[in-house]
Chain A
Amino acid sequence: MTTTTPSGVQTAARTTATAAVAARATDLTKVYGQGETQVVALDGVSVDFRKAEFTAIMGPSGSGKSTLMHCVAGLDSISSGSARIGDTELTGLKDKQLTKLRRDKIGFIFQAFNLLPTLNALENITLPMDIAGRKPDQAWLDTVVETVGLSGRLKHRPTELSGGQQQRVAVARALAGRPEIMFADEPTGNLDSRSGAEVLGFLRNSVRELGQTVVMVTHDPVAASYADRVVFLADGRIVDEMADPTADRVLDRMKDFDAKGRTS
């Protein structure tokens, strides 16, 4: 599939100019709690998320996937090391600056959809722009809405939409602001396999066709197979990486973890 949309080309061009990294963690450590109850959720993690790439993060439960995502996305503080979005170093930023950064540069998709029930689909999609006080780019908005296939449902309230449709609204909301990077934490966790496949398809399309960058946390090898690259976490460390994954290969790798988990 080739990047045909003008925006895609533009993004691609910029990508090569700036080292092609959308977000980067360097020696990132995250410690929860103190003393006896202390938990090292991330232990010196270094990883790059390249532009216009679809990265999946996998690992056993409690391995620190969500924590990594939260830290890199500026949702949670970092204990030591560094995290950057584009050229911006997150450590040391105040809540206000982090908020602005998330608003302007990051898109989020959550497992629980997290739409506002008082707003209709379209209003939910444009909410980040409303918050920023920006006018949405109409052409881009149309493209996004069409990509996720919601044209006929824009006036509906979230309660009038199926789970799959709601998650598609969430994907559109993340895309609408044309963020530098999108983070998705188990976006298909609450969906049946067909709706899940649709949402994953849109995420992949947004990378391939629209030149977006996506980082997705998932437990599902099939979901991971949509990504360009899979990063494996265990006990707060990066233990492996896999390019061009397929469901079977990912499954095999995961089984490996399970075996290890049992022996240790």
Chain B
Amino acid sequence: MFRTALRNVLAHKARLLMTVLAVMLGVAFVSGTLVFTDTLSHAFRSQSAKSYDDVAVAVTSLGNEYDPAETHPGVSQKTLDEIRGLDGVAAAYGRVDGFAGVADPNGKLIGAGWSNKGSNFDPGKDGKDSAYTFTDGEGPLKADEIALDKDSAAKGEYKVGDRVRVATNGPVKEYTLSGIFTTKDGAVNAGGSLVLFDTAVAQEQYLKPGWYRNVTVTAAPGTDDAKLLDAVEPLLPENAEAKTGQAVADEQAEEIEQGLGALKQVLLGFAGIALFVGVFLISNTFSMLVAQRTRELALMRAVGASRRQITRSVLLEAGVVGAIASAVGFVLGVGLALGLRSGMAAFEMKIPAGPLVVTPTPVIAALAVGVLITMFAAWLPGRRAAKIPPVAAMNSVHAVATTKSLVVRNSIGAFVTAVGAVVIVWGAGMGGDGGRLRIAAGAFFALIGVIILIPLLSRPVIALIRPILTGPFGVAGKLAGQNAVRNPRRTGATASALAIGLTLVTGLSVLGVTVGKALDKMATDNIKADYMVSMANGGDLDRSAVTALEKVKGATAVSPQQAVQFELKKPGTGEKIFMAGSAVKAGDIERVLKVDVVQGSADSLANGQIAVAEKTAKKRGWKVGTALPVTFADEKQATLTIGAIYKDSEFLSPTLLDTKVVNEHETKPSIRQVFVKMAGGQSEANEKALLGALGENPAIRLMDHQDIRDEFGGTINMMLNILYGLLAMALIIAVLGVVNTLAMSVFERQQEIGMLRAIGLDRRRVKRMVRLEAVVISLFGALIGIGLGVFLGWAIGETLKAALTGYALVLPWDRIAIFLVLAGLVGVLASLWPARSAAKLNMLNAIKTE
């Protein structure tokens, strides 16, 4: 049996090549993902292990920097000195860190906002800080000195002695560069920037003079880390904890693993889609091979092979193909992993260097996935092969699929599709996460159902396309249209690959574009300000920024959005409720953001009253005039009267207060954004004035309307583009499927094509006929996919309706048109080779009878 299977594989090399390619792509994706994430995780692990190499014990304080009442904001100088005095301690470094952005000579921020760190230089008795190795100059010892990591210094083209502008949360300051260093710090090695300040400056800036946030302890030779830990622990304040360096490194590795886990899952998801699509291609190929071998198989049955043996021989053949494809796919996957790694470098995401890690898992996964998927896909064709009666050997007519089996198939398909559609509509009506879950389940059923139904759908849908064919393309178009529906099963299986891919692409596009439009509309509807100011790292602005903005000439309204939390005692029960709110500038807030007051008046904010969003008020049973007993962050109590109730909006917190009411209770306000309205609206001059007032701070972002809209739309577009890229995989497999089907069709119709050539159809039109058939099949798949995708996009959109005011379904016709054109191109591309071989067919061989 094995010999027969092997012989068959060799005999059908060309046809099986497509199957091999499809399996290979899927396997490459799976193994590539696994190898890539393994390699990445290994690199990060060894990186973090390295950075804690000589750390015996790491102390972390859990103190709250925003809490002025906190008497122990971290680890005190005294504690640090005590640790230094312990036996077995070689050195102990106090660390205090936070955000610090460095401006390049043009005033632009060096590095992305999320990875700009500042810390302190803490020299020991020898004048060295073991965490940093200076390649040039020395550590900062004066208040106006800083040191910079090597890469950042290179990016800004700074040399020791240069003046460098650095922004922390406060205003920008200029420092003298005292030194350039390298470090084992993971964030820096991943492409972040690091500024070292003098310890006193860093403490002042980030915590409190005399206090540290972390302490790292290095041990004298021969000291046990655990023993040292035991010695350190009693010295620490309550809100600090100590761990061995090894434990911290392990924790970091764990975190890295988790972070990569999400990436892994997304990538594997796409690999899954590729394989799912591949199943149809494989199944189709084997169906065709079986059909082609009907007589041969019947003969085997006639000479005594059992049904089981026939099925097994087909499965064995599939296994051989799967194994070959897996092996090649795995090699390809390793290449893919290498490519991904260098690809990420292009996105400024530096990955620590390390060897390519190939564990047994991806190898086993690749083989298992490849072989099992191929055998699974070949199972139905194998069973069909076994059903060929021995008498078919005597009969020249190929066994035609009975209409009964299509009737059964159609009924099942219709049922599954209907169930899927009902579940989807149900989920859409329900909304929320639960609704989306139901839609996902329904989508799965609907997709399977439509795929089962696809042979039935082929006739009517292709009938729709046909007029476009016969018109401009004459006979070739007419014949192509008819050929496309000749074998509905085959056409359907071929179109399925495209349909699945396009369902996902279209669904995502509808959703992305719709949500993008809704967000865009929301932004334009709600933001009346001309500019929005925020920190590049997403952190809090300093209060000085607000004051500076208020002083700008031409600023007609300036209001911060300052996050506030306060407690509320529930009347009667004494139960405490945490309320979130925003502190804003009374009077100005309505001029920079839309505040739709339904009861009372926004003017009441100026009188120290509170405004509440409609839904919150309704839920709590509050009205204008209700007095709320609140406790602020500093434990001070006050009674606030509700002065206004406003419509809920994505840009407003559930409660609004005037900054004056809040500020006396908070020393470090959490100012997320400041909105500014300028006389003369948006203009270059106004922008300049604002940037000037902010001190040309590289860490602060000034966004105009368009920037704000891009911020929303941009992320969505980027996400869509990444998804499109990954789904291109489905398209590639679809191309393979179409090639396969066409090659088979051309092979089966040799006689016909020969006859057509004999009676005067020229080569060009033979090619066109094949090409158009491919285009018709592709367009058919695309139409099905787009239809289903739009439906799914709509359904998921419905569940978002409640969360997105101004939601309205937008059908991205332009993109849909592009998808159709792409599908057409898939057809043209796929038909290149089959069309050529059809045109080159030897007419005489073709019309000769056996």
Q: Distance (Å) between the CB of B777 and the closest chain A CB?
A: 15
Q: How far apart are the CA atoms of A49 and B491 in the complex, in Å?
A: 47
Q: Which single member of A96, A107, A112, A127 contacts B847 (CB below 8 Å)?
A: A112
Other than the known A112-B751, A118-B486, A133-B475, what 18 A-B pairs have Cβ atoms closer than 8 Å?
Answer: A95-B763, A99-B757, A100-B762, A102-B758, A103-B759, A107-B759, A111-B849, A116-B752, A116-B755, A117-B486, A118-B483, A119-B482, A127-B759, A131-B475, A131-B761, A132-B760, A173-B759, A190-B849
Asked if A114 lies at the interface with its beta carbon under 8 angstroms from chain B, I say: yes
A116-B479, A116-B752, A130-B474 known; A102 vs B759 contact (CB < 8 Å):
yes
Q: Which single member of B759, B763, B844 contacts A128 (CB below 8 Å)?
A: B759
Asked if B350 lies at the interface with its beta carbon under 8 angstroms from chain A, I say: no
> Do A130 and B478 have beta carbons less than 8 Å apart?
yes
> Do B760 and A131 have beta carbons less than 8 Å apart?
yes
Asked if A104 lies at the interface with its beta carbon under 8 angstroms from chain B, I say: yes
> Do B844 and A75 have beta carbons less than 8 Å apart?
yes
**A76: nearest residue on chain B (CB-CB)?**
B844
**B751: nearest residue on chain A (CB-CB)?**
A114
A70-B844, A118-B486 known; A75 vs B479 contact (CB < 8 Å):
no
Q: How far apart are the CA atoms of A76 and B759 in the complex, in Å?
A: 13
Q: Distance (Å) between the CB of A165 and the closest chain B CB?
A: 17
Q: Which single member of B479, B761, B847, B849 contacts A99 (CB below 8 Å)?
A: B761
Q: Which single member of B475, B482, B758 contacts A108 (CB below 8 Å)?
A: B758
| Contact partners of A108 in chain B: CB under 8 A | 755, 758-759
The digit string for A112-127, where 1 denotes a CB below 8 A from any CB of B, is 1010111100000001
Asked if B6 lies at the interface with its beta carbon under 8 angstroms from chain A, I say: no
Q: Which single member of A70, A104, A190 contacts B760 (CB below 8 Å)?
A: A104
| Contact partners of B486 in chain A: CB under 8 A | 117-118
A residues at B contact (CB < 8 Å):
70, 75-76, 95-96, 99-100, 102-104, 107-108, 110-112, 114, 116-119, 127-128, 130-133, 173, 190
Asked if B843 lies at the interface with its beta carbon under 8 angstroms from chain A, I say: yes
Query: 19 A-B residue contacts at CB 8 Å?
Result: A75-B844, A99-B757, A99-B761, A103-B761, A108-B755, A110-B755, A110-B847, A111-B849, A112-B751, A114-B754, A116-B752, A118-B482, A118-B483, A127-B759, A128-B759, A130-B475, A133-B474, A133-B475, A173-B759
| Contact partners of B478 in chain A: CB under 8 A | 130
> Do B763 and A103 have beta carbons less than 8 Å apart?
no
Q: Distance (Å) between the CB of A27 and the closest chain B CB?
A: 22
| Contact partners of B843 in chain A: CB under 8 A | 75
Q: Distance (Å) between the CB of A121 and the closest chain B CB?
A: 15
A75-B843, A133-B474 known; A112 vs B760 contact (CB < 8 Å):
no
**A190: nearest residue on chain B (CB-CB)?**
B849
**A113: nearest residue on chain B (CB-CB)?**
B755
Q: Distance (Å) between the CB of A51 and the closest chain B CB?
A: 21
Q: How far apart are the CA atoms of A100 and B751 in the complex, in Å?
A: 20
Q: How far apart are the CA atoms of A110 and B758 in the complex, in Å?
A: 10
| Contact partners of B482 in chain A: CB under 8 A | 118-119
Q: Which single member of B483, B752, B760, B849 contacts A102 (CB below 8 Å)?
A: B760
Q: Distance (Å) between the CB of A229 and the closest chain B CB?
A: 25
Q: How far apart are the CA atoms of A114 and B759 in the complex, in Å?
A: 11
Q: How far apart are the CA atoms of A127 and B759 in the complex, in Å?
A: 9
Q: How far apart are the CA atoms of A95 and B475 in the complex, in Å?
A: 19
**A127: nearest residue on chain B (CB-CB)?**
B759
**A108: nearest residue on chain B (CB-CB)?**
B758
Q: How far apart are the CA atoms of A177 and B541 in the complex, in Å?
A: 87
Q: How far apart are the CA atoms of A99 and B760 in the complex, in Å?
A: 5
Q: How far apart are the CA atoms of A131 and B142 in the complex, in Å?
A: 92
> Which chain B residues (464-481) contact chain A, with CB distance < 8 Å?
474-475, 478-479
Q: Distance (Å) between the CB of A192 and the closest chain B CB?
A: 16
> Do B483 and A131 have beta carbons less than 8 Å apart?
no
| Contact partners of B844 in chain A: CB under 8 A | 70, 75-76
| Contact partners of B755 in chain A: CB under 8 A | 108, 110, 114, 116
| Contact partners of A127 in chain B: CB under 8 A | 475, 759
| Contact partners of A102 in chain B: CB under 8 A | 758-760
Q: Distance (Å) between the CB of B753 and the closest chain A CB?
A: 10
| Contact partners of A119 in chain B: CB under 8 A | 482
Q: Distance (Å) between the CB of B735 and the closest chain A CB?
A: 25
Q: Distance (Å) between the CB of A111 and the closest chain B CB?
A: 6
> Do A99 and B762 have beta carbons less than 8 Å apart?
yes
> Which chain B residues (769-801) contact chain A, with CB distance < 8 Å?
none
> Do B479 and A100 have beta carbons less than 8 Å apart?
no
Q: How far apart are the CA atoms of A172 and B748 in the complex, in Å?
A: 25
**A115: nearest residue on chain B (CB-CB)?**
B755
> Do B847 and A114 have beta carbons less than 8 Å apart?
yes
Q: How far apart are the CA atoms of A102 and B483 in the complex, in Å?
A: 24
| Contact partners of A95 in chain B: CB under 8 A | 762-763
> Which chain B residues (803-850) contact chain A, with CB distance < 8 Å?
843-844, 847, 849
> Do B762 and A112 have beta carbons less than 8 Å apart?
no
| Contact partners of B847 in chain A: CB under 8 A | 110, 112, 114
**B476: nearest residue on chain A (CB-CB)?**
A131
| Contact partners of A116 in chain B: CB under 8 A | 479, 752, 755-756
Q: How far apart are the CA atoms of A100 and B759 in the complex, in Å?
A: 9
Q: How far apart are the CA atoms of A255 and B843 in the complex, in Å?
A: 33
| Contact partners of B849 in chain A: CB under 8 A | 110-112, 190
Q: How far apart are the CA atoms of A108 and B754 in the complex, in Å?
A: 12
Q: How far apart are the CA atoms of A190 and B482 in the complex, in Å?
A: 27
| Contact partners of A96 in chain B: CB under 8 A | 762-763
Q: Kindly name the residue among A75, A100, A119, A190 whose own CB sees the greatest number of chain B CB atoms within 10 A.
A: A75
Q: How far apart are the CA atoms of A128 and B756 in the complex, in Å?
A: 9
> Which chain B residues (435-483) contact chain A, with CB distance < 8 Å?
474-475, 478-479, 482-483
Q: How far apart are the CA atoms of A128 and B758 in the complex, in Å?
A: 10
Q: How far apart are the CA atoms of A70 and B690 in the complex, in Å?
A: 88
Q: Distance (Å) between the CB of B773 and the closest chain A CB?
A: 11
Q: Distance (Å) between the CB of A236 and the closest chain B CB?
A: 17
Q: Distance (Å) between the CB of A30 and the closest chain B CB?
A: 12
Q: How far apart are the CA atoms of A254 and B415 in the complex, in Å?
A: 68
Q: How far apart are the CA atoms of A119 and B752 in the complex, in Å?
A: 12
A112-B751, A114-B751, A118-B486 known; A131 vs B758 contact (CB < 8 Å):
no
Q: Distance (Å) between the CB of B480 and the closest chain A CB?
A: 10
> Do B760 and A100 have beta carbons less than 8 Å apart?
yes
> Do A114 and B752 have beta carbons less than 8 Å apart?
yes
> Do A103 and B479 have beta carbons less than 8 Å apart?
no
| Contact partners of A103 in chain B: CB under 8 A | 759-761
Q: How far apart are the CA atoms of A70 and B754 in the complex, in Å?
A: 13
| Contact partners of B475 in chain A: CB under 8 A | 127, 130-131, 133
Q: How far apart are the CA atoms of A127 and B478 in the complex, in Å?
A: 11
| Contact partners of A133 in chain B: CB under 8 A | 474-475
**A104: nearest residue on chain B (CB-CB)?**
B760
Q: How far apart are the CA atoms of A12 and B232 in the complex, in Å?
A: 121
The 8 closest A-B pairs by CB, nearest first: A103-B760, A118-B482, A114-B755, A112-B849, A99-B762, A130-B475, A102-B760, A128-B759
> Which chain B residues (231-247) contact chain A, with CB distance < 8 Å?
none
Q: How far apart are the CA atoms of A103 and B764 in the complex, in Å?
A: 14
| Contact partners of B474 in chain A: CB under 8 A | 130, 133
Q: Distance (Å) between the CB of B457 and the closest chain A CB?
A: 19
Q: Distance (Å) between the CB of B603 and the closest chain A CB?
A: 80
Q: How far apart are the CA atoms of A190 and B756 in the complex, in Å?
A: 20
| Contact partners of A112 in chain B: CB under 8 A | 751, 847, 849
Q: Kindly name the residue among A95, A96, A118 whose own CB sees the greatest number of chain B CB atoms within 10 A.
A: A118
Q: Distance (Å) between the CB of B13 and the closest chain A CB?
A: 26
Q: How far apart are the CA atoms of A127 and B763 in the complex, in Å?
A: 16
Q: Distance (Å) between the CB of B458 and the closest chain A CB?
A: 14
> Which chain B residues (737-753) contact chain A, with CB distance < 8 Å?
751-752
Q: Distance (Å) between the CB of A157 and the closest chain B CB?
A: 11
The digit string for B708-721, where 1 denotes a CB below 8 A from any CB of A, is 00000000000000
Q: Distance (Å) between the CB of B772 and the closest chain A CB?
A: 14
| Contact partners of B762 in chain A: CB under 8 A | 95-96, 99-100
Q: Distance (Å) between the CB of A97 and the closest chain B CB?
A: 10
Q: How far apart are the CA atoms of A118 and B487 in the complex, in Å?
A: 11
> Do A75 and B483 have beta carbons less than 8 Å apart?
no
